[in-house]
Structure 1
Amino acid sequence: MDSKQQSVMGRPRGFDAEAALERALLVFWEHGYEGATLTDLTTAMGITRTSMYAAYGNKEELFRKALARYTEGPASYVAKALEEPTARAVAQALLNGAVRATTRPDRPAGCLGVQGALAAGAPAQPAQQALIAWRQDGGEAIRARFERAVVDGDLPPDTDPAHLARYATTLAYGISVQAASGVSREDLQQIADSALLNWPPTP
């Protein structure tokens, strides 16, 4: 029997790869990479381990696919924020998006990209590195957007775009940690609004 036949036989009737991946995402989001066992994942996905390996690869590969889905779904507010016309509007959309995404009643609290593997043993190192790269990529995109704002005259010429990007992302990640600790959406929104009081004035 070839691998294709095994894949087909290993899948239960009605197997929906996208829906199963969404359920895996929620498990990783709630429990983190190491905390999400294969039994947790396959039970939530409604498939066997054989089907999981055939459709997604191993646990690390499944996590990477779940992270990509998270980026395109719950965390898509980051890419949308970069399209705002001013740097201040970018920061506002970023922080407001973080507040909304990390406090949805139908989703786990906090951010998969921040809490998925902050502390990790050796088996989870690849997942931890994937999340570090994910956060770095987001920070670089925001830095580049703020650099453009300086060139466009939207930010003062002496602005340090890298510093401002770290300021914005640190606040967004802090919002995520506070959300996971049970801080309410209303309180987090007040924090986001207060943070923008220190935003550089438009030249």
Structure 2
Amino acid sequence: MSGTKQFDEAAAVLRAAHAFWEKGFAGTSLSDLEAATGLGRSSLYNAFGSKEALYERALESYADTYARPILKALELPDIRAAIGEFFSLAVQALLDTSTPPGCLAAMACLETGGAEGPGAKFTAFQLKVIGDALRSALDRGVASGQLAEKTDTAALALTYTALLRGLASLHKGGQGARELQAIVRVSIGMLPIKAGRHRKTA
């Protein structure tokens, strides 16, 4: 409409995600969000309704931008390659100096997770998405004969989900590339490769 200032909503949401990523939901003020998005307070409310609604949009944007490529690695047919690439990409994302340290989704789990609160439904859904993708990859590994037949894929998927979230916490706490990459190597070693299969070097 003529005379109406236009803005890139998707870009504004992603910038808001970086603000929440830096300070958390509670620590991010409306002034921080104004500075991040370039929108005035009234424009923020008109566009998104509330801080909570913008936070949920920011979490969704974060997942689409940063989490989806990591989950894509689990589609690799070789289970060792899939798990290795999954964790390697997660570490690369954590070490990216163009983004705040840690992981916005992991932060949301710790800060606002549970049945109630901003982003609670998103964090529960995202954990399920990660767990389901991991279990599906592990199930394929069993079905293709790469993993031992009695592998508890549900428990291993849950363990890997916890490990993924733990990587973010460790990085936020100051652990660097060497330590995080060591965890990637251990995660691959946790796979119960079927006896007699050739173990490739990670």
Under a length normalisation based on structure 2, what TM-score does the superposition of the two structures give?
A: 0.85
Q: Residues of 1 paired with 2:88 and 2:99: CA distance?
A: 17
* 1:93 Cα deviation from its structure 2 partner: 1.4
1:78 paired with 2:70, answer yes
Q: Do the aligned residues in 2 keep the contact of 1:113 with 1:135 (CA within 8 Å)?
A: no
Q: Deviations over 1:43-69 (max 9, x none)?
A: 211101222222223222212221121
Deviations along 1:146-182, one digit per CA (max 9) or x if unpaired, are 2232222222110111111112222211111111111
Larger mean CA deviation between 141-150 and 107-116 belongs to 141-150
Alpha-carbon deviation of 1:75? 1.7
Q: Does 1:21 align with 2:17?
A: no
Amino acid at match of 1:20: A
- 2:29 is the alignment partner of 1:37: yes
Instruction: Determine whether 1:142 maps to 2:134.
Output: yes
Change (3 A) 1:26 1:84: same
Pairwise CA distance, 1:201: 1.3
1:186 aligns to what? 178
Partner of 1:151: 143
Query: 1:89-140 deviations in whole A, cap 9, x for unaligned?
Result: 2211121111111121110111111112513499x71323421321122112
The counterpart of 2:190, out of the listed 175, 198, 202, is 198
Q: d(CA) in 2 for partners of 1:112 and 1:134?
A: 12
Q: Percent identity?
A: 34
C-alpha RMSD over aligned residues: 2.4
SS across alignment from 1:126: coil
Q: CA deviation at 1:194?
A: 2.6
CA contact 2:113–2:119 (8 Å) conserved in 1: no
1:171 to 160, 163, 166: 163
Q: Using the alignment, how far apart are the partners of 1:155 and 1:129 within structure 2?
A: 33
**Residue identity matched to 1:98:** A
Query: Counterpart of 1:196 in 2: which secondary structure?
Result: helix
C-alpha offsets along residues 9-53 of structure 1, whole Å, 9 cap, x if unaligned?
A: 5xxx45222221121010111111222222211221110122222
SS of the residue 2:111 aligns to: coil
2:162 and 2:113 mapped to 1: Cα distance? 24
Partner of 2:86: 94
- Tell me the matched-pair count: 194
Matched letter for residue 180 of structure 2: L
The code of the aligned residue for 2:60 comes to: A
Tell me: CA distance 1:159–1:90, structure 2 relative to 1, closer, same or farther (3 Å). Answer: same
1:58 has 2:50 as partner: yes
